[in-house]
Structure 1
């Protein structure tokens, strides 16, 4: 194993420890992850997955209702100085059902019409409604009470998070999905217009994101060779926006 591979493995192990700490703090019991070094490619790669092959058990009132599977494949970024995620998948399955309920995927080098970051929903309506009614949150209890009164539980009330303030999908993402997935009629100029609009949107979000975490932005610029100095009274890190659901 080369020095680069050793360092990459160490970085990934640190990342895996962060995942273990987070999940353990959330579910209330120890959650383990395994780190495996890949040897099939000349470029070093390291993968992370949960130790429990069936997935991390997620309970409601003590009964296992879901399984969470977490997978990452990591490598160095192009410059060779950052740990980069090449692929990730967060899959939620209903207990004893093999097909996923839903999964979030990221594929760094996705090809064709597949978005690099996307959400797939596999479950049928009955499974989704069942899961919604089993929730023991205030929202779930409200659904159950409404159902007992004869009100239909609607999937339209289920909310999937998509990146918070700065990393949310743009209009261009929706338009391109409609082109690729449903074949909507579009002009010859559509592809360039969508790409340009998306670049504009993400440039703005990058700039505004620097206001949320100026020290992180300044550190990144210094790594690129820029000279950045902090003002006497530096702006406050917007932890509220950075941590927003």
Structure 2
């Protein structure tokens, strides 16, 4: 499952905005539990993701993207779930400066939202409202565990705002890839909320052609 996810992510990035990206899945041991790292241009020692260059318009600054997912099995050990993820856009291969980064950490314990966006920039209004708290330090909530953005949303943002050059056919590819992510999220939500599913089928099943028996 991790390898399949890596292949899908590699295809999506390679056929939309990336230059020379390779997304791989590597198994690792974390707190006596087998987990998987799915990441861009991943290195083994130490095991971490690396950035890849984006296809930017002529005369514009080069930009680099980093994508990383840590996966583990769910409580039933039936499906892989994202434990942590990171997607960032930076000005070069090593710099901490860039445009933004998006993080997700399941059951994050420091009071910040599990899914959040941090933007590299400055604002005099923000500085007046929150003295001593620069804009890059703020964590903007992004939909929580089930309704968080996906990498496809970030790629689409880069394209529609003219930040990167897209490949032909990018729209259809992104939509197909995003539809799969959203379907998986919906299935996960249904598994965790069986009463909600039962109530929905009880109310709408017949109109949807579902035979309802009690």
Q: Normalized against structure 2, the TM-score is what?
A: 0.53
1:23-42 aligned at under 5 Å gives the runs 23-27=13-17, 31-42=21-32
1:142-153 aligned at under 5 Å gives the runs none
1:94-133 aligned at under 5 Å gives the runs 94-95=91-92, 98-101=95-98, 102-124=100-122
Q: 1:118 to 1:232 in 2, by over 3 A?
A: closer
How many residue pairs were aligned? 145
Verify: 1:75 aligned to 2:72, yes or no.
yes
For the aligned residue pairs, the C-alpha RMSD in angstroms reads 4.0
Shift of 1:98: 0.5
Between Structure 1 and Structure 2, the one with more strand by share is: 2
For structure 1, which runs of at least 5 residues remain unmatched after alignment? 1-10, 126-159, 170-211, 236-245
In 2, distance between residues paired with 1:168 and 1:73? 16
Relative contact order higher in (CA < 8 Å, ≥ 6 apart): 2
Q: 1:41 to 1:54 in 2, by over 3 A?
A: closer
Q: Normalized against structure 1, the TM-score is what?
A: 0.47
Verify: 1:17 aligned to 2:14, yes or no.
no
Between Structure 1 and Structure 2, the one with more helix by share is: 1
Shift of 1:39: 2.0
Higher Cα Rg: structure 1 or 2?
A: 1
SS in 1 for 2:15: helix
For structure 2, which runs of at least 5 residues remain unmatched after alignment? 43-48, 124-139, 150-181
1:33–1:51 contact (8 Å) kept in structure 2: yes
